[in-house]
Chains A and B, each alone.
Chain A
Amino acid sequence: MDESAAIDLAQHALEAARSCGAQSAEAAVSIARRLHVEARENAVARLEGSTAKGLLLRVFRDGRRATLATSDFSADGVADAVRRAVAHTQLVAADEFAGLPDRVGTDGENLSLCDPGIAQRDSLEKIDEALRLERLIRDADARVVNSSGSHYTDAVAVTALANTNGFAAAYAWTRVGRSTGPVALDNGVKRIAHYGTAARHARDLEGLEAVATAAVRRAVDLFGARKPPTMRVPVIFERDVAASILDDVFAAASSANVAVANSWLTGRVGNKIGSDLVSVVDDGRLIAGLGSAPFDGEGVPTRRTPVFERGVLQTFLYDTYYARKLGAASTGNSTGGGVGPSNFYLEPGSLTLAEVIAATPLGVLVVDTIGFATEHASGTYSRGARGFFIEGGEIAYPIDEFTVAGQYAEMLAGVDAVANDLRFDAAVVAPSFRVAEMTVSGN
């Protein structure tokens, strides 16, 4: 991937914007080569490989802004789309907060976002990796009778950003992942589970055997699961489910939601929200992090921002627009069109997950959830779940077809144990943690 080619495309779009009457503009270009291999039953079920480009252009005129997203890089295509985007500004209300950021830049620190080995590796080896993973899940346990596929994915890419204030920079990045979805037969019931690993560098991936073993365990450990009784009990969220809760915490801390009253955290900076164990960080500088970048979607340098410290809400996360609107400074969280997380995570504790379970006389361990609609305005949480009933500090039996529910304010205040099993396999992650009491709804 050629960083200068991406910068050239961005500069070209800026010129087009200027010539159409934009007073200022910002162009982001990404070029990514992606490969996706899916293996199933000793065969390659899918082989997808392509290079794609994308341009995201923001134009400003008289305090009015408009956005263009296009995959059409032909000369006529760019000219026509840019002309339309600039014309659209006429219908937008003038907004004193709209515009390019005051401070852009990149300090040149190597965040180790690129594994050159991924582009060099032969695609037949990558195909073989997916086939081996598919064999491993079937060999791991005789009860695995089927699968929804075993996958190898990678991306080799550059992201470039330029604006009419003279900023122009680019960085290369890679991403590689492997995942699988075994189906095990439990007395006529098909139990499917998923497990995966992802990283910037191939060396940081969990091994094929480890991925296969974890996925198969997730399927067979649920054998014989039944519906639990309805009760108020301590709930332990296992790592991956804990991460999905951090997704909701990010949404509540996002200035884009706060500004439109769509966050239960609105107006609560400085308040003690969580327990002392709740320290949440947004870190755009994490070496080799999947959410790391030298600068954000509008060229603002990324940084490490403590969001909660020992339960106290320190700040919301901002791009330039919402920072100006809400009287703060950008935290380097622009996605180019909105506000997004860097590496957003709950700081790990010192206990192992096994120790947290052992310290739980009666409770529920949630290992998987379905559903997604959190009502962010009120902070209401409710999910379908499966996992295990805990009695006497031990896993007693598997449970499924239940829900777990609460209010976010109570959940964060109720965090009374945090495990040490944090892994950075996505931009938003968390270690396993326990909430003192939630409602489990079953029979």
Chain B
Amino acid sequence: MLDESVFAELVGRALRRGGDFADVFCEHRRTLSYRLQDGRIHDASYGVTLGVGVRVVVGESAGYAYSDDLGDDALKATADAASLIARSAPAGQAGCSALRAEGVASLYHRDPAESVNPERYVALLDRADATARRCDSRVVAVNAQVVDDVQDVWIATSEGRFVFDRRPLVTLGVQVVASDKKERGSGYVGDGGRTSIDYFDRETPEALASEAARIATVNLIASPAPAGEMEMIVGAGGGGVLLHEAVGHGLESDFNRRGTSLYSGRVGEPVASDLVTIYDDGNLEQERGSLNVDDEGVPGQHKVLVENGVLRGYMQDRLNARLMGVESTGSGRRQSFRFAPQPRMCNTYMPDGESCFEEILASTRRGIYAKSFAGGQVEISKGDFVFMVGEGYLVENGRITAPVRNATIIGNGPDAMRKVVAVGSDSRLARRHYTCGKGGQYVPVGVGMPTVKISSITVGGTQHG
């Protein structure tokens, strides 16, 4: 790619008008994707993302510019454009140290030089399709996609850091629609991680497809969901979406430095039931949200966000850490070279508690068991969040009684976390397919959770009374 001397020159040029620090992010990403529809390989696509982003930070202000043209003149113009921010803010002082390349230990399970016979991708899709159709005669459609993505990044900073990281990410997703002529139901299951497609030798397309078909047929016969406040059992694994929305976003440092999050200024205070501990970890092997180094060149870390109900800290990128007088936690992430970094989650999860699933179920008089999740969203100032149930059941008098259709569940972050009354000993990370959106930027993340009981939450179904 670009010569190391080009990075040094660009960093220096970016700071010509002043600034506290600058960084240069170069990306070369190749994405291969095959999609199956109607029982056959419907299309194939190949994507290339190549470009350079230059950032200059002056106090609370950031100038950013990017270029997909790696020619000398275009790159110089890009550094100049980023440096314009220093005109409108009091100029800081920064020198550019000599760059030194740093090696990184890898969390990724893939030979960096691996080449894959494309027939293998197609075979995964065919196997998923055949399995889903065999599972149930009511299966009317199977849509499956496999994506193999390799992102090379080079990051140079004005402190003299220069790192390279090759980040693999594979995903196999299977969507199944079941129909009985009258009703329809769908199910989706995806998995993968920062690994190679060998991963699907263990987590097989057969397993994913039969799970998706099972969820589709459950949703096909599901009743409308109930409406109103009730108890909720959050399923192990994918239930981590709850943590991501109810707590995680509110602990990202941009919102807290600016004081727009309801968690601003509350480190050391109780924000949840003392049963609640939440970590965010960028160092878990193969997980979607893991990074050898973040998009500012800082190694990933294990962060304690909440410990026994007490808020312990925020997730920091460099700009906000600097302004808050702390160190980056390796949480600076960006979708591509076209975006400046933001503080983001990596893999957010809750460790084991002491209850078992059977006890939690038996203690529930009337509630909903949300076994899997289709996603969620939060408004970080007041803290109201939602998450959408992918597979849910009604619980009555300690027994699972009937499947219920996809419903949105709404709560308030600290309120829901205070109402955590039981935490299971079955913590696990969810299947790896979650992607998080913030400020128009999408990055892969992981979530995890043991079975958790919340004493009261609002379920957004249609069946009242």
Task: Please report A residues at the B interface, Cβ cutoff 8 Å.
Answer: 40-41, 43-53, 65-74, 77, 81, 84-85, 88-89, 91-93, 95, 127, 146-148, 183, 189-192, 227, 230-232, 259-262, 264, 337, 370-373, 375-378, 380, 382-384, 386, 400-407, 438-443
Contact = CB atoms under 8 A, between A and B. Distances in A.
Nearest to B118: A91
A382 B40 CA distance: 33
B279 interface: no
B386 A91 contact: no
B362 to A, nearest CB: 26
Interface of A: prevailing SS: strand
Given A92-B41, A261-B179, A382-B388, A77 B48 contact: yes
B374 interface: yes
A127 B63 CA distance: 12
B49 A45 contact: no
Interface stretch (B82-90, B204-212, B268-276, B282-290): B82-90
B43 A48 contact: no
B405 A375 contact: yes
Interface stretch (B160-168, B349-357, B456-464): B456-464
Interface stretch (B299-307, B377-385, B418-426): B377-385
Given A44-B61, A190-B381, A66 B44 contact: yes
A370 B68 contact: no
A403 B408 contact: yes
B79 to A, nearest CB: 12
Interface in B241-284: 258-262
Contact of A377 (B70, B85, B186, B376): B186
A69 B47 contact: yes
A441 B465 CA distance: 11
A312 to B, nearest CB: 22
Q: Which 7 A-B pairs have the closest CB atoms?
A: A403-B460, A93-B40, A384-B386, A441-B227, A373-B388, A192-B381, A88-B44
Contacts of B219: 375, 378
Instruction: State the majority secondary structure of interface residues on B.
Output: strand
B185 to A, nearest CB: 6
24 contacts: A46-B62, A46-B340, A48-B340, A50-B64, A69-B45, A72-B68, A85-B45, A88-B46, A91-B122, A127-B88, A148-B260, A192-B381, A192-B382, A370-B379, A373-B375, A377-B185, A384-B386, A386-B384, A403-B227, A403-B408, A403-B409, A403-B458, A439-B462, A442-B229
Contacts of B135: none
Given A40-B258, A146-B260, A67 B119 contact: no
B184 to A, nearest CB: 4
Interface string B335-355: 000101000000000000000
B140 interface: yes
Contacts of A372: 375, 377, 388
Contact of A47 (B46, B64, B70): B64
Contacts of B463: 439
A50 B80 CA distance: 11
A252 B89 CA distance: 49
B196 interface: no
Contact of B408 (A147, A190, A259, A405): A405
A41 B60 CA distance: 10
A74 B118 CA distance: 25
B412 interface: yes
Contacts of A407: 462
